[in-house]
Amino acid sequence: MTFFDDKAMTQAEDTTVTSAPQVGDQTISVNVELSGPEWSLRTTLLVPKEPIAPEKMVPVFFSFADAVVGSAAENVERTGEKVSCKMGCGACCRQLVPISETEARWIHDVVERLPSVRRTEIRTRFAEARRRLSEAGLVDRLLHPETWAEGEGWSIAMSYFHLGIACPFLEDESCSIHADRPVKCREYLVTSPPEHCAQPTANTIKMVDLPFRVWTAMARLDNDSPTEGKIPWVPLVLALEWTDNQPQRPVPSCGHEVLRRFFEILSRKSIVGGQSSVVESHTDLGERK
């Protein structure tokens, strides 16, 4: 089991979404309630009121992912198991980390905001990682996952892992962008011994089971018409290059509309009408299209 987990590409089913927005000066407060056969989650998300660039919504999804992961971890610990991930353990940070295209732009902007010396240092690490991937003939493969054959993802992820390339943000085995780290990093939580993450196999890694993957719903937000079921994604290690090669950014849109589409994708049921019609009557997520 690695960061790159084909199972993670699946979507949640049997969820319901509720929200009761409160409109403030700058933000809309959205109460979210999700439930499935054996789990439920309530949280509140603050969404910018004005139309914004998609990457500005990323912190909202971070907050949601943290709520999902936190709740799943609590459930696991109630059964007596213990989450073994902790500060200073970067054993998983040499794996292939898939992120959504919007997060790739987010990561690019995180790096661009760094002071120039630091930015150069981080960009140099990205360049060195790319050099090693290029030597291994992996750059084109990683930039075009849509061309991968069925089942090829695992072998490419293993080839990547065996290169031992540390994430450019990893320092002293800790994440140097902890608050800004991608959703996939937040979702990788294990109860197996941490040393197993340095040699991951399906038999030795026990991940905390999540009811759904937030990062795949984010990736589908970027393109909800995946070719042959393959959603678009970018390897974290190539996020700067990918973004540099895409100078045109998506147009801004209203945060609550983005959130509405996100939950539609997550639940695969329309928030408007059907099972959620009662909910719709006291939300403006549908009405503000």
Tokens of 215: 């990062």
Tokens of 6: 């084909």
Spatial separation of the C-alpha atoms in residues 52 and 37, rounded to whole Å:
35
Residue 23: C-alpha distances to residues 156, 196, 257, 285 (Å): 46, 47, 14, 12
Q: Does 167 bind ligand SF4 (CB under 6 A)?
A: yes
166 or 254: CB nearest ligand SF4: 166
25 or 172: CB nearest ligand SF4: 172
190 or 279: CB nearest ligand SF4: 190
Closest listed residue to residue 244, CA positions, set 84, 132, 36, 105: 105
Closest listed residue to residue 219, CA positions, set 137, 134, 106: 106
CB 91 within 8 A of CB 188: no
Closest listed residue to residue 55, CA positions, set 102, 104, 109: 102
The residue from 53, 89, 170, 272 that contacts ligand SF4 (CB under 6 A) is: 170
Binding span for ligand SF4 by CB under 6 A among 123-131, 164-172, 207-215, 239-247: 164-172
CB 289 within 8 A of CB 257: yes
Spatial separation of the C-alpha atoms in residues 273 and 276, rounded to whole Å:
6
Binding span for ligand SF4 by CB under 6 A among 60-68, 139-147, 169-177, 211-219: 169-177
Q: Does 169 bind ligand SF4 (CB under 6 A)?
A: yes
- Exposed e or buried b per residue across 195-212, where buried means at least 16 C-beta atoms within 10 angstroms of its C-beta: ebbeebeeeebebbebbb
213 or 260: CB nearest ligand SF4: 213
Tokens of 162: 């065996």
- Sketch the per residue contact string, 178 through 197, with ligand SF4: x for CB under 6 A, - otherwise: ---x---x------------
The nearest distance, CB 108 to ligand SF4, in angstroms, is 13
The nearest distance, CB 174 to ligand SF4, in angstroms, is 8
5 or 280: CB nearest ligand SF4: 5
- Sketch the per residue contact string, 87 through 126, with ligand SF4: x for CB under 6 A, - otherwise: ---x--x---x-----------------------------
Q: Which residues bind ligand SF4 (CB under 6 A)?
A: 90, 93, 97, 167, 169-170, 175, 177, 181, 185
